[in-house]
Amino acid sequence: MKETTKLLPIKVSHRVQKALVEGTAVLAMESTVLTHGLPYPRNFEVLSELEQLCKDCGAEPATIIILDGVAHIGMEDADISNLKEKMHNHAELHKFGRRELPTAMVKGLSGGTTVSATMLLAYHAGIKVFATGGIGGVHRGWENTLDISSDLKALSQIPVIVVSAGCKAILDIPATMEYMESLGVSILGWQTSDFPAFYSRSSGISIDRVDNATELADIYRSMIALDPQPSGILLANPVPREDEIPCTVIAAHIDNAIASAKQKGIHGKELTPYLLAYLSESTKGVSVTTNLSLLMNNVKVGAIVAKELA
């Protein structure tokens, strides 16, 4: 376990520390799905299923979360109990983006980390691969709101491979792709050249594809060697076919979700969790099943990539 200074309180779990020292595979995992994505206590079942799957695939899971101001890289049993108690007592759990980490640390707050914050903490711990569900991006209506997730800037600045099922159609997907091009984010399809749209396997937007982890690892190492300011790599992994929700079916739900958010004046960091919760209700849980399936699938691919880079 590593405890750093008071100003940079990062605690790496024993298991993750051991894997990092021995140079074996470690896969970072996110925690917003625990704190904001799923109801208690289902979220803890999902946590242990994801961590077990990661171990079965030969990588050490490092779930990243902020508890009482300390960034945890991998949770010990005591940390999980601490989080359970907080949820049981309805303690306030925040959603931390990258810019909020120092405030959370100094004020001793607790909460889940978004993709931008998880990338930064994974990088600090020396972890190169991170599996999530979907990244944030350019929201529809950005022309008026300028709502663009800080995930995109983080992807352009932090050299971590992020395995994601693309991004949701709650966003403006073409604008998200254009913005990532401007920022210089590398995007690669895992055994596909069609950027996936989270619930659906296809967005119709073409991307470069990689077919195996060796090729991906070589591209990552080439980028680090070549570029004085290497970006992250967004590895886009489509949802398994059997759990896909067709574009035409999810589109109407998304339109309703966005209209509802607009009517209620929901914006800023509340918007994404609101839309996800709306979809879960309006699809009667089907969107959650799809979400869990693609998360599992991203952990499997993330573990393969982490082993290649170990």
Q: Which range in 19-27, 56-64, 237-245, 269-277 contacts ligand PSU by CB under 6 A?
A: 269-277
User: Active site includes 76?
Assistant: no
Could you say whether residue 272 binds ligand PSU (CB under 6 A)? yes
Least Å from the CB of residue 171 to Mn ion? 10
User: Active site includes 30?
Assistant: yes
Could you say whether residue 136 binds ligand PSU (CB under 6 A)? yes
Catalytic residue among 168, 269, 300, 307: 168
Query: According to CB under 6 A, which one of 11, 72, 168, 201 is a site residue for ligand PSU?
Result: 168
Q: Which range in 146-154, 223-231, 253-261, 301-309 contacts ligand PSU by CB under 6 A?
A: 146-154
Query: According to CB under 6 A, which one of 61, 111, 133, 189 is a site residue for ligand PSU?
Result: 133
Least Å from the CB of residue 33 to ligand PSU? 6
Could you say whether residue 147 binds Mn ion (CB under 5 A)? yes
Least Å from the CB of residue 271 to ligand PSU? 6
Sequence-distant (6+) residues with CB within 8 A of 24 are 59, 60, 310
Gap between the Cα atoms of 236 and 193, Å rounded: 9
Q: Is the peptide bond between 41 and the residue preceding it cis, with omega within 30 degrees of 0?
A: yes
Gap between the Cα atoms of 92 and 39, Å rounded: 14
Gap between the Cα atoms of 303 and 310, Å rounded: 10
Based on CB atoms, which residue is closest to Mn ion, 79 or 147?
Answer: 147
Gap between the Cα atoms of 148 and 96, Å rounded: 15
Continuous H helices in the chain: 14-22, 32, 42-56, 77-88, 101-107, 115-125, 142-145, 150-157, 173-183, 213-226, 247-264, 271-282, 286-309
Question: Using an 8 Å Cβ cutoff, are 200 and 244 in contact?
Answer: yes
Sequence-distant (6+) residues with CB within 8 A of 242 are 293
Query: According to CB under 6 A, which one of 179, 198, 199, 274 is a site residue for ligand PSU?
Result: 198
Residues that bind Mn ion (CB under 5 A): 147
Q: Hey, which residues are catalytic here?
A: 30, 168
Residues that bind ligand PSU (CB under 6 A): 30, 32-33, 37, 97, 114-115, 133-134, 136, 149-151, 168, 198, 269, 272, 276
